[in-house]
Structure 1
């Protein structure tokens, strides 16, 4: 069953389709971040971002610029989804907004060619426009 276009739900497990790596543990943390299931734990965001990076570098996936781009863009999308979700508490959405720069900074660091820099500018523009509609 589809939760929305970016998440598949199988029973109680949510699979986030922006990410190549899918494990029960990381999807559980992604779900907690996306749906503010542990909203009184602001360290959850730092833990999640660090866990994603650790899982990514420890995996057998080719650590190419494209693979890194997909990881950081997935992090951006998940945080943006949380920011735009008016059903989540305002303080959680603000916390996500305060941390969305982290994957964007990582994308900036790995963007070498003009095409990737253009994609990054598009993400910044998307964040700028979207955040105007969803005030935290």
Structure 2
């Protein structure tokens, strides 16, 4: 992390936003996700590898939320809709075989999980309709 160019307040803000997203503390505030991604990207700096790592962590956090059955369904769906943001950034940063392969793996993980998530939502809707 490029901590030398960022203040502790910036780092703390990103951490707080991350916690709010992970624990659905503001499930009716989808703008929170974009605010967090922008602030986290600012922490990443300009080095490609650091930016990649931040995008992977963003992807993983959003996928953790999507997979968490204890969180509100609409929040999980919002995170699923937003997971393409770090993935697309990561795709733009892919400049070698290893990074291209990693992006493909993450897209595959997203396809698998989104299929499961859509199926579980349809079961949820059928059960509570």
Return the TM-score normalized by structure 2: 0.80
Q: Identify the residue that residue 124 of structure 2 maps to in structure 1.
A: none
Gaps of 5+ in 1: 1-18, 58-62
- Shift of the 79–69 alpha-carbon distance from structure 1 to 2, 3 Å rule, reads same
Q: Does 1:29 align with 2:12?
A: no
> RMSD of aligned C-alpha atoms?
1.8
Compare CA radii of gyration and give the structure with the larger one.
Answer: 2
Q: Identify the residue that residue 46 of structure 1 maps to in structure 2.
A: 34
**CA separation in 2, counterparts of 1:29 and 1:80?**
16
**CA separation in 1, counterparts of 2:106 and 2:43?**
24
Q: Does 1:102 align with 2:85?
A: yes
Aligned length: 113
**CA separation in 2, counterparts of 1:20 and 1:86?**
34
Q: Contact 2:30/2:78 (CA < 8 Å) preserved in 1?
A: yes
Partner of 1:112, secondary structure, is: coil
Flag the structure with higher strand content: 1
Return the TM-score normalized by structure 1: 0.76
Q: Contact 2:65/2:79 (CA < 8 Å) preserved in 1?
A: yes
